[in-house]
Structure 1
Amino acid sequence: MARRDREQTRRRLLDAAFVEFAAYGIGGARMERIARIAGCSAGLAYNYYGGKEELFDAVQSEVVDAAFVPFDAADLPGYAARLYDRQYEHPEFARLATWHRLERPGPVRRSGEIEAIRRAQADGLVSARFSAEQVLVLVLAIASMWSDAPADSPDHVVRRQAVQDAVRRLVEP
């Protein structure tokens, strides 16, 4: 029974942190607010994750990565369109990604995707004009460029097609 309660508390903390980080970023997020939303004490939240940085990393790996669309290096245009759809339907994912870029700059840490693009380049499925790392960053940027559009935007279908076409032209051999 205690194991189940522990897992439920951890899940509530992750869900509350996702909302908090999407709204305020790492710098603006407050562990006390996250704990209150999760229905536990701030001390318990620190006990589970140590601090905001660790909790942000947990949200990134357990909530965001689990909810994102499957990566397909052989179909980067389709992947970009599905990623655009996900961010259009759930703008909090796009906001969290923006906070990550702002507050955690550095190289893209998606080695599996980069390696898959390298293999697709070696197989002639993806252009080698850019490095695999550059291709991934460009695909992610193109898929996210309209993430701040209103959810009821009439241009959604047109923008989705533009994302898919732009990535197709970027990666075609």
Structure 2
Amino acid sequence: MGYDAEATRRRIFQAAADEFAAHGLAGARIERIAAAARANKQAIYLYFGNKEKLFGAVVGAKVDEVCETGALDPNDVAETVGQLFDWYQEHPELIRLLLWEALENGPGPVQGEPERRDAYRGHIRGWLEAGYAADAPDDRARVRAAQDWMFTLLGLIAWNFAVPQLCRLVLDEDDEKAALARRRAAVVETVRALAAAR
């Protein structure tokens, strides 16, 4: 049986996602990624260039995954917010990766920023094509309204997973699953009410 480069690449990618989610970019170790992936360090550098590029590739792919899995549908926003909430619950590594990226990168540009920005612009175009903010005074105001709305929706979802200790403390719930079920219902109802008011 010969060397399967694609399988090695996938193992490296998964091991890197786990390592970066746990330790961030600065704390991640190429040696641990290589060991977990059953690969050598040279393969990591060959496929991804360096640790920073690997981190950027992991974050970009996870963002792409969530964007492809559950786009926010302007015609059924409350239901799709619930589906996106479920996705985040099943994939807690994305929030951790985004938090590490923010902590370690500061206000500067992130790896793959132009492509990630373009993906979000595509979602905004979809909202505008669906007639969102049609009563805004001009196209720029419509775009800004759609951007603000999308960012608000993402925040309503993501905050539940970014600070699990606050979820537990504020909700005074010993059972994490029960707390998240309450939060999911509250987020969906909030979005439903906000969407109706718009």
The one-letter code matched in structure 1 to 2:11 is R
The counterpart of 1:156, out of the listed 172, 175, 180, is 180
State yes or no: 1:117 paired with 2:131.
no
State yes or no: 1:142 paired with 2:156.
yes
Partner of 1:131: 145
Residues 26 and 52, structure 1, Cα contact 8 Å, conserved in 2: yes
Structure with bigger RCO (C-alpha 8 Å, 6+ apart): 1
Residues 49 and 55, structure 1, Cα contact 8 Å, conserved in 2: yes
Residues 14 and 63, structure 1, Cα contact 8 Å, conserved in 2: no
TM-score by length of 2: 0.71
Looking at structure 1, the residues matched to 45 and 102 of structure 2 have their Cα atoms a distance apart, in angstroms, of 24
What are the superposed Cα offsets for residues 129-156 of structure 1, whole Å, 9 maximum, x if unpaired?
Answer: 9522222211111011211257833222
Residues 133 and 145, structure 2, Cα contact 8 Å, conserved in 1: no
Q: Which moved more, 1:4-13 or 1:95-104?
A: 95-104
- SS of the residue corresponding to residue 74 of structure 1 reads coil
Quote the sequence identity (%).
36
Q: Structure 2 vs 1, CA of residues 17 and 49 (structure 1 numbering), >3 Å: closer, same or farther?
A: same
Q: Structure 2 vs 1, CA of residues 52 and 171 (structure 1 numbering), >3 Å: closer, same or farther?
A: farther
Shift, 1:77, TM fit: 2.0
TM-score by length of 1: 0.80
Number of residue pairs aligned between Structure 1 and Structure 2: 169
Q: Which moved more, 1:137-146 or 1:53-62?
A: 53-62
Partner of 1:46: 45
Q: Structure 2 vs 1, CA of residues 88 and 24 (structure 1 numbering), >3 Å: closer, same or farther?
A: same
Looking at structure 2, the residues matched to 169 and 101 of structure 1 have their Cα atoms a distance apart, in angstroms, of 31
- SS of the residue corresponding to residue 160 of structure 2 reads coil
Q: Structure 2 vs 1, CA of residues 34 and 11 (structure 1 numbering), >3 Å: closer, same or farther?
A: same
Gaps of 5+ in 1: none
CA RMSD in angstroms comes to: 2.8
Point out the structure with max Rg over C-alpha: 2
Residues 73 and 113, structure 1, Cα contact 8 Å, conserved in 2: no
The one-letter code matched in structure 1 to 2:35 is R
Looking at structure 1, the residues matched to 160 and 62 of structure 2 have their Cα atoms a distance apart, in angstroms, of 22
Looking at structure 2, the residues matched to 35 and 122 of structure 1 have their Cα atoms a distance apart, in angstroms, of 49
